[in-house]
Amino acid sequence: MKYLLIFTLSLCLTVSASAQVLDSLQVQAGTAVTVASKDYLPLWLVANRYGIISDQQFDFSTHVRATNTNQVLSWLKLDYGVDIYNNDHLRKTLIQEAYLKATYKNLKLSVGRFKQVVGEVDPDLSSGSLGISGNALPIPEIKLSLDYTAIPFTNGWIQFKGQLGHGLMGDNQFMKGAYLHEKNIYFRLGKRKLKLYGGIQHYAVWGGSRPDFLSLDKSWGGFWNILLAKESDDGSTTGQIRPNRSGDQRGVIEAGAEWENEHYKINLNNQTPFDMGQGIDIRNIDRLLSLNITNKKPGAKLKKLVLEFIYTKQMNDFYAQQYRESYYNNGVYRTGWEYNDQIIGTPLFVNRVRGSKYFNDVQPYDWDGPQRDIKPLSNIINNRVVGGHAAFVYEINKQISTKTKLTYTKNYGNYSPGNFDIPLSQFYTMEEVSWRVPNSQLSLSGTIAYDFGELYNNFGSMIGLQWQLRN
């Protein structure tokens, strides 16, 4: 992982030096101070921030970001950048982004660590995509992506887009050195105000090893088994067990409708999760349902509104319990759908790191500890959730805007007995005010958050400052 990031950083510096084109160079510096009444933060102060806010009672997170765009050739554009953070009371430095992106028409090749939200949910206001939400630190990867492109002979009425990526999960996992396989494909019908779309996202963590457990297939043939989602024996099964699909596989089926004119953009979107293919079934009623409204009118006060409903309580209960899925959990890849101690998908689920803040008998796993101490299917302790989420952006004037998030969940744990034997209700709230200081390159923000319910009560705040050093 570190070698890919070092290579990307070196490549960015080389491109910048050789091109000698700095007209579009942007440099930003900023800091955010967080404080809470408990020894951890309210959810919306730490969640969906790409892993750069430490979840503790008091801390400050400082960063420097530099990005640039060069039109190297008439047909080739390069984007590159780096964003370095320091937090945990100056003890931790991390690279949130270090990327190089080459774009040719609708085709883009991205290398390094870069922010992304996969799916049609609103990337800023959503509670979080069920695939990749922007909650965890970005995973280093190489990705080829195609933006919506018309299918020949359809007169532009049918378009498609897709992505194919290969990433590195690193060693802060139960299975060390595993790979990430990521792909999706979407189709869209319409070229006027109304458009209908649908697609599927597929993710797999595969390969990897640990001395006291298993060493799994990382060969070229193993990659093709993952790419095609074929049944195979990657070394995790015995001769007495029928081979399953390799790795820890999951995905999202997504469909929706979009209507847009010169004043409004309205999107109705549905995500349905599945693990190992069982959830690809008409009986699966688990979903994240979103209504996203963007107001494009000049001078409008209410700029954006998002309403969401999440239901993941069913979790394939039309199968016998021993065959049911446990979203984001796995028996072999026991870290599950998590990177750098944070859930990759929706932060409304609870992993052991976050759950240890709520329950005295829950402790995070030591991924370097003996495998016998790390139970399968148990890192995500709460993945059966029913709830609603509302968020909006309101602009007071050209300098001052606000962002509001209000969320309610009823939490049913997972299928294992534990702290959620009785469903627990919880509210998460956040109010943020941003101020672009007139006649300057400064922007200030102040955020308060209050979470309350049967999980915990906690009040917190954040004060942020961003300085545009070069624009």
Instruction: Map the chain to HEC letters.
Output: CHHHHHHHHHHHHHHHHHHCCCCCCEEEEEEEEEEECCCCCCHHHHCCCCCCCCCCCEEEEEEEEEEEEEEEECCEEEEEEEEEEEECCCCEEEEEEEEEEEEECCEEEEEEECCCCCCCCCCCCCCCCCCCCCCCCCCCEEEEEEEEEECCCCCCCEEEEEEEEEEEEECCCCCECEEEEEEEEEEEECCCCEEEEEEEEEEEEECCECCCCCECCCCHHHHHHHHCCCECCCCCCCCCCCCCECCEEEEEEEEEEEEECCCEEEEEEEEEEEECCCCCCCCCCCEEEEEEEEECCCCCCEEEEEEEEEECCCCCCCCCHHHCCCCCCCCCCCCCCEECCEECCCCCCEEHHHHHHHCCCCCCCCCCCCHHHCCCCCCEEECCEEEEEEEEEEECCCCEEEEEEEEEEEECCCCCCCCCCCCEEEEEEEEEEEEECCCCCEEEEEEEEEEEECCCCEEEEEEEEEEEEEC
Higher pLDDT, 234 or 172: 172
Higher pLDDT, 423 or 21: 423
Which among 181, 138, 183 has a CA at the least distance from the CA of 161?
183
Residue 22's pLDDT is 67
d(CA 414, CA 254): 24
Mean pLDDT of all residues in 302-312: 98
What is the CA angle 359-360-362, rounded to 5? 70
- pLDDT band, very low/low/confident/very high, at 321 (cuts 50, 70, 90): confident
Residue 6's pLDDT is 55
Which among 345, 329, 337 has a CA at the least distance from the CA of 121?
345
- Radius of gyration for the chain, computed over Cα atoms and rounded to the nearest angstrom: 22
Residue 240's pLDDT is 46
Token pair of 308 as six digits: 């969401």
Token pair of 231 as six digits: 């049944």
pLDDT(9) > 70:
no
**pTM for this entry:** 0.93
Residue 245's pLDDT is 82
Residue 19's pLDDT is 47
Residue 232's pLDDT is 85
d(CA 380, CA 276): 17
pLDDT(359) > 90:
yes
- pLDDT band, very low/low/confident/very high, at 233 (cuts 50, 70, 90): confident
Residue 246: φ, ψ to 5°:
-65, 155
- pLDDT band, very low/low/confident/very high, at 239 (cuts 50, 70, 90): very low
pLDDT(23) > 90:
no
- CA 357: distance to chain centroid? 22
CATH classification code of 2-470: 2.40.160.130
Q: Tens of pLDDT along 389-416?
A: 999 999 999 999 999 999 999 999 998 8
pLDDT(99) > 70:
yes
Mean pLDDT of all residues in 422-447: 96
pLDDT(345) > 60:
yes
Residue 324's pLDDT is 83
Q: Tens of pLDDT along 33-76?
A: 999 999 999 999 999 999 999 999 999 999 999 999 999 999 99
pLDDT(462) > 80:
yes
Which residues lie across from 442 on neighbouring strands?
Answer: 467
